[in-house]
Amino acid sequence: MYKLGSPDAFIEQILDHIKSVKTVGSLDLGEINPADIKFQSRSEYYRYVGSLTIPPCTEGVIWTILKEARTASKEQILALREAVHDGMMEIHSKSYMKFVFTFIFTFLLFLSISLPTTFASPVENEVEDESHFTYKELNGKGPKNWGRLNSTWKACGNGKLQSPIDLLNERVQIFPTLGKLKRGYKPAPAILKNRGHDIAVEWKGDAGKLVINNTDYELKQCHWHSPSEHTLNNTRYKQELHIVHQNSEGGIAVIGILYKLGRPDTFIDQILHHIKAVGAIGEIDLGEIDPKDIKFGSRKYYRYLGSLTVPPCTEGVIWTILKKVRTVSKEQIHALREAVHDGFEENARPTQWKHGRPVYLYRPKAV
């Protein structure tokens, strides 16, 4: 953000070009160092998930707004406004002293270095070869070292938007305007796959979608972790199901369901005999599976911005964790644990620091 004042040093470098670009259309600037864009405050900033501010207004954009406003001169503001096409200017000469100029940079690389974050990428980027990492710390490949094991996994060690986290009731913000979850699931062909570190149901056809902020996220797969990865008020449960969705831009949205010991889960029961067999086979054709058979049981949920919970720990994932804890039987937990490769019977990443991230709770308004 910029207020009227001293000239901005970065704009000053290219001011002559800005003044002439309207008639030319584009100019070769030669080599430009994005480090010349000065950040007045590196430690204090706002972060939220939003959209592009021009059409197509694509959502899922991670916004970082520096808290402290810098300064731009009247000449620089006028040059930028004059350079755009007619009809795109809104110049009010008497209001310059009140004018706050917002400069939106497209130097995403520079932002990613200065304020570290890794953007969500396709679901297929989850590591499926588990030989390179484990959940046990004794062998040097455990969660504390994931960020050092591969140059593309650095977010696991230094990311600020990592998952899972603890969902502490007194620290969440109640946000009824989030609205109820909009799911449009439908039956589709699926396979059961032993990925070594977990067991997954992968849909091979159109299994429907989840809609968040008017953006469609197609259902891709679901998989189980035991014990749970997310915790509620520091309580870790017996199991957690992740239902993974992806939008057309590669953005990821995951629904998490926590389970305690009790009655059998009806969805797992449908495929339990396949789960018991997939450990030896690796992959089983399930035929048509209806994702609506995954029971939610509550409209209340937590929402926050996080990451994949396995390497490469990609950030920018929109997490929705159902508030209601459902039940799973001892036989079902045992079957899922027995099916994975040795050493992955417990496949839960420890909870990560929130780093000031807000966590929202959707609770329907009382009628």
HEC string of 312-334 equals CCCEEEEEEEECCCEEECHHHHH
> What are 154-164's pLDDT values in tens digits?
999 999 999 99
228 and 100 share a domain?
no
Q: So what's the pLDDT on residue 38?
A: 82
- Residue 72 inside a domain? The answer is yes
Is residue 105 scored above 70 in pLDDT? no
Three-state DSSP at 202 gives strand
Tell me the per-residue pLDDT of 107-120, one tens digit each, with 9 for 90 and over. Answer: 333 333 233 334 45
Q: Does residue 346 share a domain with residue 211?
A: yes
Domain shared by 181 and 316, yes or no: yes
Of the candidates 85, 114, 143, which is a domain's last residue? 114
pLDDT surpasses 80 at 271: yes
CA 255/CA 187 separation, integer angstroms: 18
> Are residues 199 and 296 both part of a single domain?
yes
Considering only residues 336 and 82, tell me which one the structure prediction assigns the higher pLDDT.
336
Q: How far apart are CA 130 and CA 88, in angstroms?
A: 53
- pLDDT tens digits, 2-20: 888 888 889 999 988 888 8
Of 141 and 17, the one with more pLDDT: 141
Q: What is the domain-level CATH number for residue 271?
A: 3.10.200.10
For 144-155, b/e burial (b = at least 16 CB within 10 A) is: ebbbebeeebbb
Start-to-end C-alpha separation, the chain: 42
Whether residue 53 is found in the same domain as residue 176: no
Residue 367 lies in a domain: no
Distances (CA, A) of 357 to 177, 318, 322, 366: 19, 12, 18, 27
Given the residues 17, 197, 273, 341, the one annotated as active site: 197
Burial of residue 190, with CB atoms counted within 10 A of its CB: 0-12 exposed, 13-18 middle, 19 or more buried: buried
57 and 132 share a domain? Answer: no
Judge whether residue 121 has pLDDT over 50.
Answer: no
**Domain end (from 114, 141, 166):** 114
Instruction: Give yes or no: residues 255 and 319 share one domain.
Output: yes
SS3 of 302, please? Answer: strand
Domain end position, chosen among 71, 94, 114: 114
Helix ranges restricted to H, the chain = 9-13, 15-24, 74-83, 108-114, 146-149, 155-158, 266-270, 272-281, 330-339
Q: Are 184 and 329 in the same domain?
A: yes
Do residues 313 and 149 touch, judged by C-beta distance below 8 A?
A: no
SS (H, E, C) 7-30: CCHHHHHCHHHHHHHHHHCCCCCC
For residue 11, give both structure tokens.
């704009």
Question: What is the average pLDDT across 139-147?
Answer: 94
As a whole number of angstroms, the distance between CA 21 and CA 64 comes to 28
CA dist 283 → 119, 245, 320 (Å):
30, 21, 28
Residue 303 lies in a domain: yes
> Strand 252-261 vs strand 326-328: parallel, antiparallel, or unpaired?
parallel
pLDDT at 126 over 80: no
Residue 219: the pLDDT is 98
Tell me the per-residue pLDDT of 214-236, one tens digit each, with 9 for 90 and over.
Answer: 999 999 999 999 999 999 999 99
Q: Clarify whether residues 110 and 127 are in a common domain.
A: no
User: 214 has which bridge partners?
Assistant: none
Span 236-260, pLDDT tens digits: 999 999 999 999 999 999 999 999 9
pLDDT of residue 92: 43
Same domain for 67 and 160, yes or no, is no
Quick one: 40 and 149 in the same domain?
no
Q: Residue 100 is part of which domain span? A: 2-114
Number of structural domains (the chain) is 2
Are both 233 and 344 inside the same structural domain? yes
The CA distance from 210 to 219, in Å, is 7
Is residue 197 among the annotated active site residues? yes
Q: Tokens for 334?
A: 């045992």
**pLDDT score at 97:** 36
Query: Mean pLDDT throughout 26-51?
Result: 75
Tens digit of pLDDT for each residue in 188-218? Answer: 999 999 998 999 999 999 999 999 999 999 9
Q: Is the pLDDT of residue 89 over 80?
A: no
